[in-house]
A and B are shown apart, each in its own frame.
Chain A
Amino acid sequence: MNAPLLSINNVSKKFGAVVALENVSLHVGAGEFFALLGPSGCGKTTLMRCIAGFESPDAGAIALNGADLSGVPPFRRPVNMMFQSYALFPHLDVFENIAFGLRRQGEAKDAIDARVDELLAMTQLSNHGRRRIDELSGGQKQRVALARALAPRPKMLLLDEPLGALDRKLREETQFQLKEIQRLTQTSFVIVTHDQDEALALADRIAVMRAGRVEQVAGPMEIYDRPATRFVAGFVGETNFIEGRVERNAARGPGAALVSELGRIPCEPGDLPEGAQATLSVRPERIGVAREGDGIAGFVENFVFRGETTLLRVRVAENVVLRAAAGHGERYAIGDSVRLSFPPGAGTLLKDGPSA
């Protein structure tokens, strides 16, 4: 990455006694699709409002293209926002909503008309320019909001839960549109979302936030396959946590392993020392399910048909239930005996204790 477009350095923000952001540092490159992912109340919206200029950090600095943004009011920042509620002006039509930012910049009438038409075409709203906002469907409103925020050619677009108000079917279609528009405009997109699927599907890189802090910044695959903390592993996707002790030497079996009450589970120890307490995070689909053979014995307690897979809840000890995904076509019934196996590299070993 060259010099980042947006750099956030050690930003902190408190509301009264509530800490919204604590020492957050992030960098977003030009043309990047970046996601801030976290549960509600994790500070992701506050961070976005700090970038847009609606809140000012108590400490730390935010810079765009190297220029410090502190003290710059929202209307002078080359950053536009797509609001969660869309915040479309109900007294203006679609065309005038999109033209609003261009008119504030005092552009010539012809230029404004051309730019608005271009955006209407890009968002497939060409015949809706003179519609009133309350005549639009949810998906159309979403596209007007996107067009309006893109119209003044911002250096960076902030999107606050952009797909939150859409139903499931429309959401997937819109995900592709968003990605396409981001690719066409070469604008940096920073999206705020609590929906892991959305972040994984859209973003080049994801920052997972929790209680005002950034837990991990990485690409979607790495976040999913190599979560840095127990929180990230639990928040992004489904997983099983198995607690135990690290065994590095191969005295009692091949390679390193985690020794737990379920037995020895082979895994990569990383830099964890011999005997350290650790937690293994294993995704359900990485666990092998078979009716017999090697592996941990258990029985099917319950199952949910998921389409391409069937998610089994398998009781492997008196107080341990693991979730494992069986492939398409494999049928199990409640009470069936199964064997669960852990291929090498199936899980990620996390060093933080069970309480974190």
Chain B
Amino acid sequence: MSARRRLSLGQRLVIAAPYLWIAAFFLAPMLLVAKISVSQSVLARPPYRPIFQFSDSLAELWAKALDFTLDSYRALVSDTLYLESYLSSLTIAAVATLITLIVAFPFALAMARAPERLRPILIGLAVAPFWTSFLIRVYAWIALLKDEGLINNALMAVGLISAPLQMYATPGAVVVGIVYSYLPFMLLPIYAALERQDESLREAAADLGASPAQVFLRVTLPLSRESVIAGSLLVFIPAVGEFVIPDLLGGSETLMIGRTLWNDFFSNHDWPAASAAAIALVALLMVPLLLWERARLKEEGGR
């Protein structure tokens, strides 16, 4: 197995279609966004002044390359709206990820310790909502969280509160929405890791004098560490860039970057600003992924 080799003609034909599709509709558009992010904003359609044009001669290209502007990136740093959006996105995503973990771990543990023939049914039921519409699942929470919604009504009916709690249109509602929508992403890896764990390891620990709590802390938990990290990334990363949940549950006060970006693009028609925000967001999300990958490689190299 040499590390790099040439592909046969047949193999090239197989790879050509997906490769071309990705190049045309993913790589090229991403490069275009990077390019627009260093263009100047103008109120025309398309609402940016192109820096490069296909017909440019080389000399002109060079002149224009010098002409490019980092205005949009400067605005990202100086404009408090963007800074606040990024910070608030990271905070909300982090809190939501933590709560998802707290909800998912005991749930996954209870499923992994259930009788073996029940397990496929339980995990199937737990993942089934994932196949239904995301939009509808988020929408369902509006009716629950509103001032005149079911939760407030129920609480007032039993006399726990006298006036409705404001839950809808708060960052808290966004957190609930994220926890609810992304629960399967946390549940699946943790369940898989717990279910795979050899029961004799726990028996051995108990045999050596560990109490049930110690067995959990010293054996079960350390052995599921990787799945917890994987699940947390699977929740955190999409949550940071989330648009639908903050838009439907967060009210106008809750800032999140996905939403700010959307507004800049559709309402303000400031494409360079939106593009710069997008590129910055991608760079931001690469950080945890690269850290994870590095830790994984280190662990593999250590073996």
User: Could you tell me the distance in whole angstroms from the C-beta of B10 to the nearest C-beta in chain A?
Assistant: 12
The minimal Cβ–Cβ distance linking B174 to chain A, given in whole angstroms, is: 48
Say yes or no: is B3 at the interface (Cβ < 8 Å to chain A).
yes
Measured between beta carbons, the chain B residues less than 8 angstroms from A15 are 1-2
Within 8 A of A (CB), among B1-43: 1-3
- Least CB distance, B2 to chain A, in whole angstroms: 7
Specify which chain B residues have a CB less than 8 angstroms from the CB of A106 in the assembled complex.
Answer: none
A sample of 5 inter-chain contacts (CB < 8 A) reads: A15-B1, A15-B2, A16-B1, A16-B2, A16-B3
Which residues of chain A have a CB within 8 Å of any CB of chain B? 15-16
B interface size (C-beta, 8 A): 3
How long is the Cα–Cα vector from A16 to B2 in the complex, in angstroms? 6
| Chain B residues with a Cβ under 8 A of chain A | 1-3
Query: For the complex, what is the distance from the CA of A15 to the CA of B1, rounded to whole Å?
Result: 6
Report the bound CA distance from A16 to B1 in whole Å. 8
In the complex, residue of chain A having the shortest beta-carbon distance to the beta carbon of B3: A16
Nearest to B2 among chain A residues (CB) is: A16
Q: Which residues does chain A contribute within 8 Å of B1, judged by CB atoms?
A: 15-16
In the bound complex, what is the Cα–Cα distance between A235 and B1 (angstroms)? 29
The 3 A-B residue pairs with the shortest CB-CB distance, nearest first, are A15-B1, A16-B3, A16-B2
Residue of A whose beta carbon sits closest to that of B1: A15
Q: A residues within 8 A CB of B2?
A: 15-16
Q: How far is the CB of B7 from chain A (nearest CB, A)?
A: 15
CA distance A108 to B3 in the complex (A): 43
A16 to B4 Cα, complex, angstroms: 11
Inter-chain CA distance A223–B3, complex, in Å, is: 39
CB contacts (< 8 Å) of B3 on chain A: these are: 16
**Nearest Cβ in chain B — how far from A296, in angstroms?**
48
Could you tell me the distance in whole angstroms from the C-beta of B9 to the nearest C-beta in chain A?
Answer: 14
- For the complex formed, measure the closest distance between the CB of A288 and the CB atoms of chain B, giving whole angstroms: 50
Q: Give the CA-CA distance A330 to B2 in the complex, in Å.
A: 58
CA distance A45 to B255 in the complex (A): 62
Q: Which residue of B lies closest to A14 (CB)?
A: B2
Instruction: State how many angstroms separate the Cβ of B31 from the closest Cβ of chain A.
Output: 35
CB distance from B76 to the nearest CB of A (A): 46
Measured in the bound complex, the distance between the Cα atoms of B3 and A351 in whole Å is: 41
Q: Which residues of B contact A16 (CB under 8 A)?
A: 1-3
Q: How far is the CB of B155 from chain A (nearest CB, A)?
A: 57
What separation, in Å, do the CA atoms of A121 and B142 have in the docked complex? 71
Q: What is the distance, in angstroms, from B215's C-beta to the closest C-beta of chain A? A: 36
A15 CA / B3 CA spacing, docked (Å): 9
| C-alpha gap A221/B192 in the complex (Å) | 54
CB distance from A254 to the nearest CB of B (A): 59
Task: Report B94 CB to chain A, min CB distance, Å.
Answer: 43
Give A181 to B3 CA distance when docked, in angstroms. 41
- Report the minimum CB–CB distance from A55 to chain B (whole Å): 9
Measured between alpha carbons, how far is A13 from B291 in the docked complex, in Å? Answer: 38
Alpha-carbon separation in the docked complex, A16 to B5 (Å): 12
Q: How far is the CB of A12 from chain B (nearest CB, A)?
A: 14
Closest Cβ of chain B to A255, distance in Å, is 55
Q: Given the complex of chains A and B, what is the CA–CA distance between A182 and B202 in angstroms? A: 51
Give the Cβ gap from B266 to chain A, nearest Cβ, in Å. Answer: 51
Looking at the assembled complex, report how far the CB atom of A75 sits from the nearest CB atom of chain B, in whole angstroms: 13
- Complex CA–CA separation, A352 to B2 (angstroms): 35
CA distance in complex: A16, B3 (Å): 8
Min C-beta distance of B47 to chain A, whole Å: 53
Q: Which residue of B lies closest to A55 (CB)?
A: B1
Shortest Cβ gap from A74 to chain B (Å): 14
Closest to A58 in B: B2
* A289 → chain B closest CB, angstroms: 46
A68, chain B: closest CB distance, angstroms: 20
Q: Return B1 CB to nearest CB of chain A, in Å.
A: 6
Distance A184 CA – B2 CA, assembled complex (angstroms): 41
Cα A178 to Cα B1 in complex, Å, equals 33
